[in-house]
Structures are given as structure tokens and as C-alpha cells.
């Protein structure tokens, strides 16, 4: 075969490969056209494009001291907040949690919803909650990925004003935390076989010391245990966006983190802690894991959140007086 023919064959192979990769881009949910007014009921949030997102409400009283909109983490759903939500009733706090698209009982189970759509749905929820509880202080609470959603939402243009945010082990490590090799592997995998699923088994990562709770999650059909690669890719994207946007937070913020967290590294937490605005508080739980509110010590965290909302107090005594957050080992 002549050199020119070999070169032409190679060129064709590169073109074919490029076309193949382009045909296997990550799948991201797309919003439909706005065709109705949004509606919040006791059981669901109906979005302007007609989707119904399941909602759970733990109603304190007809006159709550404050309202919490709680956003769940990756592969999880609104049931995350069942125990703190029911406990906060006694503290005069109403909690509203919802299944984000692609999670729990929301539409398109397992398909990544995309940052723009997650922010849009949260904004809709805030607007509807403010209409349902006029004049009441309204706070946003996000665990892990939910924290990343909160950061990107409240720093985005036009997002409704709220009274403060609570970030529990926020997922703020993105592309900057991956070395070039892993970046290339994830990008290539998400653009070549996005539908392949990963389980995370064998990684040796423990999310909580509450073993019975973890066993219940493993048996819960609404908790995603096999994750599409393009969803992992989407998660890294929103974590990266949250890492960059944290410096633009202007709201009073409560940042919660456990020293035994094996999912979110200390370095990005340290970075965003240093960027929080005046009026913010940082709480470090020495025996806390990633799922702080569902750890065995969860009730301590529940009380800290409730008292911070009502009086800016941290009764556990775990508030950090000054940075750096972590001592050098």
C-alpha cells in the first residue's frame, strides 16, 4: 500500500472515531416548553414544563418560625430528610424536600438533569414556597450534591432571594481535583459509552457510621446503586462549578463538615470556608462522616441547624472560631 493510501486510511479512521464519539455524547435531560403555571401541593411540585416532582413536607404549625427547602445528594432522594424533618417540627420549622429530576420517584430515573434544569426547578420551588408561606424566613439546605446545587443556584443571575443557606458536606471538588489522566478517562468514557453503569463497590469508602441506615439504603429501590457514567460526568461538572462559584456567595451560610468524611476532600472545603461572607458559620464535627444528618450523631447536627436558623447559635460547641479549618498533620 502506498504512503498516500495509508495516510488516507488513517484520516478516515480518525474521522470515523470522531463521528462515533460525537454520536455518544452524555445524555442530559432537557426542559420542555413552559406551558402552565407552577403549582406546589402537599405531594408534588408541578413545574412550568408540566413535570411533577415528588414532594415531602414536614409541617410545623400554621405559623412556622422558618421554612427549610431541603435538596438531596447524588443518587439519593427526598427521604434523606425524613428524620431531621420530623424532628424540626418540634422546633417550629417546616421542611420541604423534593426529588430532583432523575432521582427518587421523579421523571427519568437515573438520567442526569443538568445544572441549568436543577437550578430552574429549585428557583420554582423557592417561589412557590414563598407564596405558600408569605413573610416567613426561608432557608435552603443541601447535602453533598445538594450543596453544589445550592451554591450554583444562589450565585446565578435572577435567583430568588432567600435568608440563608446550609451546606452539609457540600460536593465542591470537580475537575481541578482530578489529575489529567483521570480527567481524560472520565471525559472519554462519558462521550463513548455514557450508558455504562458503575456501582462503586470495592472502593472501600464509608459514608456514615450508621450501618443500619446504610443497609436500608442498599435495599431501597429509589436509591440509585448503579450510576451511568454520564451522570458521574455531570456530577463532576456541577461540583466544579460550585467550587468556582463559592466566592460569589453573599448570603449568610452555615457550613457543616465531618472530619471522617471519606467522599469530600478537606482541601476544597478549606477553600470555600475561607470565602464565605460575613455572618457565616463553620461547624466541624470530629466524629462526623459524610452523611452528617444520618450519622449516629445526627441529632446533634439537627439541633445545630435549628438553632442557627433561629438564633445563630451552635449548641454543640463545634463552631470553628478561626481559619484554617484543619490543623496541619
Average pLDDT over residues 29-37: 91
Q: Count CA atoms within 13 Å of residue 179 on its CB side.
A: 1
pLDDT tens profile 184-223: 889 888 988 899 998 877 678 999 999 999 999 999 999 9
Residue 227: what pLDDT? 96
Distance of alpha carbon 84 from its chain centroid, rounded? 17
Residue 3: what pLDDT? 32
Exposure letters 191-207 (e unless 16+ CB within 10 A, then b): beebeeeeeeeeeeeeb
Residues 6+ apart with CB under 8 A from 224: 75, 76, 103, 109, 110
pLDDT tens profile 238-295: 999 999 999 999 999 999 999 999 999 999 999 999 999 988 999 999 999 999 999 9
Task: Output the DSSP codes for 271-290.
Answer: HHHTTPPTT-EEEEETT--S
Residue 29: what pLDDT? 95
- 223 close to 77: Cβ distance less than 8 angstroms: yes
pLDDT tens profile 242-258: 999 999 999 999 999 99
Res. 4: pLDDT tops 50: no
Give the Å distances, CA to CA, from 181 to 187, 188, 216, 234, 243: 10, 11, 35, 18, 21
pTM comes to: 0.91
Instruction: Give residue 12's pLDDT band: very low, low, confident or very high (50, 70, 90).
Output: very low
List of domains in the chain: 3-311 (3.40.50.1820)
Average pLDDT over residues 301-324: 96
Average pLDDT over residues 86-104: 98
Instruction: Give residue 19's pLDDT band: very low, low, confident or very high (50, 70, 90).
Output: very low
Percent of the chain with pLDDT over 70: 92
The rounded distance, in Å, linking the Cα atoms of 166 and 140 is 6
Res. 7: pLDDT tops 70: no
Amino acid at each position: 500500500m502506498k504512503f498516500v493510501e495509508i495516510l488516507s486510511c488513517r484520516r478516515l479512521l480518525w474521522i470515523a472515531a470522531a463521528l462515533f464519539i460525537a454520536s455518544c455524547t452524555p445524555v442530559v435531560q432537557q426542559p420542555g416548553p413552559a406551558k402552565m403555571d407552577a403549582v406546589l401541593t402537599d405531594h408534588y411540585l408541578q413545574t412550568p414544563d408540566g413535570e411533577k416532582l415528588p414532594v415531602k413536607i414536614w409541617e410545623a404549625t400554621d405559623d412556622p418560625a422558618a421554612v427549610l427547602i431541603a435538596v438531596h445528594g447524588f443518587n439519593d432522594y427526598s427521604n434523606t430528610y425524613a428524620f431531621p424533618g420530623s424532628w424540626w417540627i418540634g422546633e417550629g420549622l417546616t421542611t420541604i424536600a423534593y426529588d430532583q429530576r432523575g432521582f427518587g420517584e421523579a421523571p427519568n430515573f437515573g438520567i442526569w438533569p443538568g445544572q441549568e434544569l436543577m437550578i430552574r426547578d429549585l428557583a420554582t420551588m423557592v417561589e412557590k414556597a414563598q407564596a405558600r408561606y408569605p413573610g416567613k424566613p426561608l432557608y435552603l439546605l443541601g447535602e453533598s450534591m445538594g450543596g453544589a446545587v445550592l451554591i450554583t443556584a444562589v450565585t446565578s443571575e435572577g435567583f430568588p432571594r432567600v435568608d440563608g443557606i446550609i451546606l452539609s458536606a457540600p460536593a465542591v471538588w470537580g475537575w481541578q481535583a482530578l489529575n489529567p489522566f483521570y480527567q481524560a478517562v472520565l471525559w472519554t468514557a462519558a462521550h463513548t459509552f455514557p450508558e455504562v453503569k458503575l456501582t462503586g463497590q470495592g472502593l472501600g469508602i464509608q459514608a456514615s457510621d450508621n450501618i443500619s441506615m446504610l443497609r436500608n439504603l442498599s435495599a431501597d429501590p429509589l436509591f440509585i446503586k448503579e450510576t451511568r457514567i454520564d451522570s458521574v460526568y455531570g456530577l463532576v461538572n456541577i461540583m466544579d462549578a460550585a467550587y468556582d462559584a463559592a466566592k460569589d456567595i453573599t448570603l449568610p451560610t452555615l457550613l457543616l463538615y465531618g472530619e471522617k468524611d471519606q467522599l469530600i476532600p478537606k482541601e476544597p472545603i478549606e477553600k470555600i470556608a475561607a470565602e464565605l461572607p460575613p455572618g457565616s458559620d463553620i461547624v466541624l464535627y470530629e466524629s462526623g462522616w459524610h452523611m452528617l444528618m444520618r450519622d449516629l450523631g445526627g441529632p446533634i447536627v439537627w439541633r445545630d441547624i435549628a438553632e442557627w436558623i433561629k438564633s445563630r447559635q451552635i449548641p454543640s460547641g463545634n463552631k470553628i472560631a478561626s481559619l484554617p479549618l484543619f490543623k496541619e498533620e
